[in-house]
Amino acid sequence: MKQVQWDLSAIDKRQGLFQKIKWYEVGGMISLLVLMYSSYLFLYKELTLQAILVFNCFALLIHQFEEYGYPGWFPGMFNRWVFGSRYPLHYPLNRKSSWIVNVVLGWGIYGASVYWAKDVPELGLACIVLSGTNVLGHIAFSIKGRNWYNPGLITALFLFSPIIFLYYLFVNPMEQFGERTFWNGVLIGVIATAFVPIIILLFASERTGFEFGARHEVPRFRKFKSLKED
């Protein structure tokens, strides 16, 4: 059996944007603007629903930065603890599938929920459901890995959880939007959540070139402690 190659310091030029652009760091910087806009809506425009959904976008961006930026070892944890992978830096979750899940799906639906906050309230509720599944998922990861912390847990508990509470406190979707809209939103959220593992498995390959860097591995399993790699 071929030995796993852990030294991934060389970036394959054929891997393009997925290896060169750190979308989670870009998102982290954008999150500051999103936070200011959410504060502006809440304080000066009294647009409570839209302000909460914009703040939810802020939470998503910071959550992703915690997972992939700092401390950033969510990929290795996810592949090891959830799938028991022999190749935790690229199987089944790899750079390509994480980009699709987080940027295309995540940024897409969270951004759409703000843009169509009043016209399509189902999208806002769907994003609240997604935030809720994130909270439950990270709690489950800690239990599964028998570890008090995993990247994403802090933002899930201290950002997503309060946002979910505020949404139901101030918006009360069942009463404001009606029963049909409420359950449509829940259904969209469940479907979007189901797409996450589907995308990951669809693009999973033990031979993929879209590896994560060594710092995305769970610290206690890192082979090269001094290797600086993204």
- Mean pLDDT over residues 204-214, rounded? 91
Kindly state whether residue 120 falls inside one of the protein's structural domains: yes
Q: Is residue 75 assigned to a domain? A: yes
**Range of the structural domain that residue 159 is part of:** 13-221
Sequence-distant (≥ 6) Cβ neighbours of residue 65 within 8 angstroms: 24, 25, 27, 28, 31
121-145 vs 48-68: helix axis angle to the nearest 10?
Answer: 30
Q: What is the pLDDT of residues 142-199, one digit of tens each?
A: 988 788 899 999 999 999 999 999 999 999 899 999 999 999 999 999 999 999 999 9
Overall size of the chain counted in residues: 230
**Domain-located, residue 1:** no
**Nearest-angstrom CA–CA distance, 25 and 44:** 29
Mean pLDDT of 109-127: 96
| 61's tokens | 């961006």
**Number of domains composing the chain:** 1
Say what the pTM is: 0.89
Q: Is residue 227 part of a domain?
A: no
Domain assignment present for 208: yes
Digit-coded pLDDT (tens) for 38-85: 999 988 887 789 999 999 999 999 999 999 999 999 999 999 998 999
Which of 205, 209, 204, 206 shows the shortest CA–CA distance to 10?
Answer: 209
